Structure 1
Amino acid sequence: MSGESDLKTLLAGMRPELNVGCYVFATVDDGIVPPGVSPVVTVAEQEGLTLVLSQQEADAAGVAYEYTAGWITLRVHSALEAVGLTAAVARELADSGLSCNVVAGFHHDHLFVPYEQAAQAVTVLEDLARRSV
């Protein structure tokens, strides 16, 4: 099933959903995911393997991290070739003083925002969706 590519439709139907828990960004130099850790995102970089995982798992495994985030999933099925969704969402959050790290999955876009401001970010995105109808 292919995803949606029309920006207006994407924005109006994004249905942001805050996932339960606190998530952290960490890196492992050896490229090996520690035992007992199930990252929700991994990114291979020259400097090491970036892991996005629950803070609870990171703490239990002794994985160091610096950034704690709330994880928001945009429930609209966005096409990977869609143009403008990431820019529109990031711009709206930036205009509200919120940082955003975006990861595109096959079906959905995932936003990692400062943990303490995650509920505010959802409200900002819901408002953007309402205005896009």
Structure 2
Amino acid sequence: MSGETDLDRLLSGLDPELHEGVYVFATLPEDVPGLNPVMTFTEAEGRTVVLPAEEADRAGVPYVSPSAWITLRVHSSLEAVGMMAAIATALTEAGISCNAVSAYHHDHLFVPWPRARDAVDVLHALGRR
């Protein structure tokens, strides 16, 4: 097992990093040359990609959900219990929607672009509890 599993340590070590730029969600039937998504997930209905809005605009790819990308720099275990629930609860209480993606080393949150700073503030407050 790799990464932290202790909920208190996870929450106190969230260390959110707000990436520059706007990121969007799109679905593609196949790869599009010139796109460099930060996330790709294949579903029965098509390939979902998250990519910078500027790339989608250049390629003429329709998209939804202009978002801010926040990386939680704590190295969480994929077997950790409760961290995403605590984050979702805190963001819900602030009225902020969130699409979460767990990768091997870190968790990533995509929140509505206009609420990016609010979300980071919520995450910092959660870490101080």
Q: State the match for 1:66 in structure 2.
A: 64
Per-residue displacement from partner, 1:38-86 (whole Å, max 9, x unpaired)?
Answer: 0000111111100000001000111101210000000000000000111
1:92-117 CA distance string (max 9 Å, x none): 00110000000001000000000110
Tell me the equivalent position of 1:48. Answer: 46
- Equivalents in 2 of 1:57, 1:8: separation in Å? 38
Q: How many residues align?
A: 129
Deviation at residue 125 of structure 1 after TM alignment: 0.5
State the 1:17 CA deviation.
0.8
Where structure 2 has 5 or more consecutive residues not aligned to the other structure, the ranges are: none
Answer yes or no: is 1:33 the counterpart of 2:27.
no
Structure 2 residue aligned with 1:118, among 116, 121, 127? 116
Distance (Å, rounded) in 2 between the aligned partners of 1:86 and 1:58: 29
SS of 1:92's partner is helix
Partner of 2:22: 22
Q: TM-score, normalised by structure 1?
A: 0.95
| Local SS of the residue matching 2:78 | coil
TM (norm. structure 2) is 0.97
- The offset of 1:33, in angstroms, is 1.9
Task: Output the aligned Cα RMSD.
Answer: 0.9
Structure 1 unmatched ranges of 5 or more: none
1:90 is the counterpart of 2:88: yes
Identity value in percent? 57
Which structure 1 residue ranges, 4+ long, deviate > 4 Å from structure 2?
none
Supply the distance in 1 between the matched residues of 2:77 and 2:2 (Cα, whole angstroms). 6
